[in-house]
Structure 1
């Protein structure tokens, strides 16, 4: 998850994002470290606040293996 990178690029402190999301700052930290993953609705809210797409927010660019198409 690129939450921390996006948040920092926008100049938003974790405490400010936590307040806007109505969660504890430790929740933000857990999302940023990958200890927890926000649910879909929360990811949509995060993307809206950070002015980015959910895909951008959740994409893991550290995994070099591209996703494989599902077989029919």
Structure 2
């Protein structure tokens, strides 16, 4: 998961992301360090808190192509 990169790009600390996503700081740390995988619900909460999509958190790019045939990167 590209959580740490997305969090840093958004200018948030682990504590701020935890608060915005209603998750614990230890959850954020565990996922960022690869010790734990998050559930789909957690992935969605992180994406919403970071103003991005789950695809960006999983793959680093948004492959949803919602508005055009072009790949969107964030």
TM-score (norm: length of structure 2) = 0.71
Matched residue SS, 1:18: helix
Deviation of residue 24 (structure 1)?
2.3
Could you say which structure has the greater relative contact order, defined with CA pairs below 8 angstroms and 6 or more residues apart? 1
User: Which stretches in structure 2 are left out of the alignment for 5+ residues?
Assistant: 61-74
User: Which stretches in structure 1 are left out of the alignment for 5+ residues?
Assistant: 61-72
Q: Distance in 2 between matches of 1:13 and 1:33?
A: 15
Q: Distance in 2 between matches of 1:32 and 1:54?
A: 15
Aligned partner of 1:44 in structure 2 is 44
> After TM superposition, which residue ranges in structure 1, 4 or more long, deviate above 4 angstroms?
none
The structure carrying a bigger strand percent of its residues is: 2
**Greater Rg over alpha carbons, structure:** 1
Deviation of residue 59 (structure 1)?
1.9
Output the aligned Cα RMSD.
1.4
Q: Distance in 1 between matches of 2:36 and 2:16?
A: 19
TM-score (norm: length of structure 1) = 0.73
